[in-house]
Amino acid sequence: MTLTPPPLRNDCFSLPAGVDWTPVDEALALLRDRVRRVVPSESLPLTKALGRVLAADVIAKRSNPALPNTAVDGYGFAGAVAEGAHVLPLVPGRAAAGLAYEGAVPAGQAIRILTGAALPAGVDTVILEEDVTLGSGEIAFRGPLKQGANTRRAGEDFSRGAAVLTARRVVTPADLALAAAAGVSEVEVYKPLRVGVLSTGDELCEVGEVAAPGQIYDANRPMLLALLRQMGFLPVDLGRVSDDRAALRARLNAAATEVDVILTSGGASAGDEDHVSALLRESGALQEWRIALKPGRPLALAVWNGVPVFGLPGNPVAALVCTLIFARPAMGQMAGTNWLQPQGFELPADFAKRKKTGRREYLRARVRDGQVEVFKSEGSGRISGLSWAEGLVELGDGALAIHPGDPVRFIPYDSFRL
């Protein structure tokens, strides 16, 4: 048999002929369909719920405002006021926030009232103190003034028994204020998703060690662990393992008993030393890995002893992109939240680029003066571009010719809830 060499493509990113590459949207749909919540719930004091995922709706135990009250400092009385000059006698005392006026205000009289005070009986309208002349036991002002002016209705924000926060929401500082105002002291939340991060490769060494010739420092693991922490998950450092299939198998077996999800870095392609994808394929656990995207073509999606595994590329740029685009929404769904659809914005490009058909591309980018800049190199090994960028430019699956000023989709890192 005579071997025939393939045509010279001179393009390491070209798609191999005859290979069925899975488009990004199909791969995401596959993940969304198969991934389920894996964490149990627990009850927590409201003050400890920041960043956790609500497991149930939060129901208001009281209305807000609980009673009708005034929105301004001024003077309260009953009814609308016609156009023209008016003089009303004042009743003794005043109404202030937290100090309810015990009596009733007779018709045709007024009372001094301060912002936030519950409206006394006989009061449904308030005039601003700036619009009043104060005399000895009486006030003078001009109308017209509508009935109910400068007041807040009871429950106009929310009523007792209403769902003020819905399940699957990540609790924010503003949510704490809302729940507290609703009289809620405890909430039902999901426990944090435990995500293990494992680096693979003989070429790796730890920061602080002396790198031998041919070795590189493990940049992916500290990056991924920090990303997970920012995303609200519980990162678990699984260390690194050499290019030894038995050692990798043992580490995965142990990790599957400790975490809910595993992120591996490196060894996800099809080379002689790509033990992650080989081991997953050997065990029958590999589901999808030929994803049509750049950077990050070698992406393994699998299950090991019931635990989802995301086999990320070894190059830091590709590892970050694959984490944000694929692992982030899937892990969020496993943690109990809704599937994350990152928000992108159409902005004019400050660059030119020609793109071939077949793969979706993500470029490191940032916005300056209302235009999108991209990093000077698309190489996955250019780690400086990760720090330089503030988000990603997403280029669709088809061929494109982008010129300065053309609209492009910019996705800020914040859209991934970092």
Quick one: pLDDT at residue 276?
72
pLDDT in tens, 326-352: 999 999 999 999 999 999 999 999 999
Other Cβ atoms less than 10 A from the Cβ of 3: the count is 4
| Helix residue ranges per DSSP H, 347-417 | 384-388
Query: ∠296-302-306 over CA atoms, to 5°?
Result: 150
Contacts of 192 (CB under 8 A, 6+ apart): 39, 52, 232, 233, 234, 335
The three-class DSSP label of residue 226 is: helix
Tens digits of residue pLDDT in 218-270: 999 999 999 999 999 999 999 999 888 888 889 999 999 999 999 998 755 55
- Rounded to whole angstroms, the Cα distance separating 365 from 350 reads 10
Angle between helices 245-255 and 275-282 (to 10 degrees): 70
Counting as low any pLDDT under 50, the low residues of the chain are 8, 10, 12-13, 272-273
Alpha helices per DSSP H over 124-240:
173-181, 220-230
pLDDT score of 287: 59
What is the structure's pLDDT at 65? 95
